[in-house]
Amino acid sequence: MGLLNGKTALITGAARGIGKAIALKYASEGANVAFTDLVIDGNAENTVRELEAFGIKAKGYASNAANFEETQTVVNQVKEEFGSIDILVNNAGITKDGLMMRMSEAQWDAVLTVNLKSAFNFIHACTPIMLRQKQGSIINMASVVGVHGNAGQCNYSASKAGMIGLAKSIAQELGSRGIRANAIAPGFIITDMTAKLSDEVKEEWCKKIPLRRGGTPEDVADVALFLASDLSSYVSGQVIQVDGGMNM
Ligand code: NAI
């Protein structure tokens, strides 16, 4: 008996990286998994097959999470094809780093729209379904820099701080209706997003981490499983840092 048997999870930006690890973790615990990404290519189709190997229903949807109308359409499709949406993970995210003095309006808008407005889009579309079900768990992927800030990432940090405020507000608005909302704040996790950092930068990061290693997508997925399942049935409005102790 899996921790998520009979549940349907919808995860944004899950063709690879942390989102994919969460999808696999949920499938291994019995959840049906719908996920989105910008394109559903061969890699994403492989992800679908890996998920189906757990004996659950899985499907990838091509959709830009930053687009309000596309999101409404994809959520309607998932509801029709899966029957319910019990878990929503707002995971899609990008970086366009730069110091404030040199940051363009386009860099700011792109990161705020993909990282934060996308979560509004999905929460707005999914909560009517969760309200009718009288239960749901919403997980916003934030970041430690959303809690502590980071020079060179004012757009990204602001978007991730927004993800925390959004989760806390939804937790207050919808808690009485059986809907929980929490945020995960990963630290330095080894994925395509961090692959572009130089070895020196990665070594510097690791020196600041008490556990002396970068995290894996699976480290984050384990916490996402806790927040999606009944193991956290009395946990709402919280931010859980998954950062090897980097920020205390
Ligand atoms: P990644 O770059 O490996 O994967 C992100 C996924 O989101 C990709 O599949 C990408 O195609 C998709 N995506 C991007 N824009 C999209 C859009 N508009 N609509 C739909 N999908 C879109 O990144 P990673 O590392 O797996 O990050 C996942 C989440 O975790 C992001 O929100 C990121 O900000 C957050 N995070 C990552 C950390 C890290 O160290 N890797 C640390 C803290 C937070």
Task: Give CA–CA dist 68/126, Å, rounded.
Answer: 12
Q: How far is CA 27 from the centre of its chain?
A: 16
Burial class (CB in 10 A: 0-12, 13-18, 19+), 112: middle
CA of 23 to the centre of ligand 1 (A): 13
pLDDT, residue 197, reads 85
Cα Rg, the chain, nearest whole Å: 17
Query: pLDDT tens for residues 24-40?
Result: 999 999 999 999 999 99
* 35 DSSP β-pair partners: 11, 60
| Region 112-141 average pLDDT | 98
- Domain residue limits, the chain: 8-189+216-242
Active site residue 26: no
Query: pLDDT tens for residues 182-235?
Result: 999 999 999 998 888 889 988 988 999 999 999 999 999 999 999 999 999 999
Does this model's pTM top 0.85? My answer is yes
CA of 160 to the centre of ligand 1 (A): 12
Question: Which residues, other chains included, contact 213 with Cβ-Cβ below 8 Å and sequence gap of 6+?
Answer: 206, 244
pLDDT, residue 43, reads 94
| Region 172-191 average pLDDT | 98
Nearest ligand 1 atom to alpha carbon 18? 26
Task: Give CA–CA dist 36/110, Å, rounded.
Answer: 18
Type of residue at 95: T
Task: Give CA–CA dist 231/120, Å, rounded.
Answer: 26
Task: Give CA–CA dist 8/27, Å, rounded.
Answer: 10
Topology of domain 8-189+216-242, CATH = Rossmann fold (3.40.50)
Task: Give CA–CA dist 124/131, Å, rounded.
Answer: 11
Least confident of 76-90, 95-109, 121-135, 200-214: 200-214
Least confident of 105-114, 144-153, 196-205: 196-205
- Ligand 1 pocket, CB under 6 A: 12-13, 15-19, 36-38, 64-66, 91-94, 114, 141, 143, 186, 188-189, 191-194
Mean of the per-residue pLDDT values for the chain? 97
Proportion of the chain above pLDDT 90, given as a percent: 93
CA of 183 to the centre of ligand 1 (A): 15
Among 150, 191, 201, the mutation site with the greatest number of ligand 1 atoms within 8 A of its Cβ is 191
**Which of 2, 64, 69, 66 shows the shortest CA–CA distance to 33?**
2
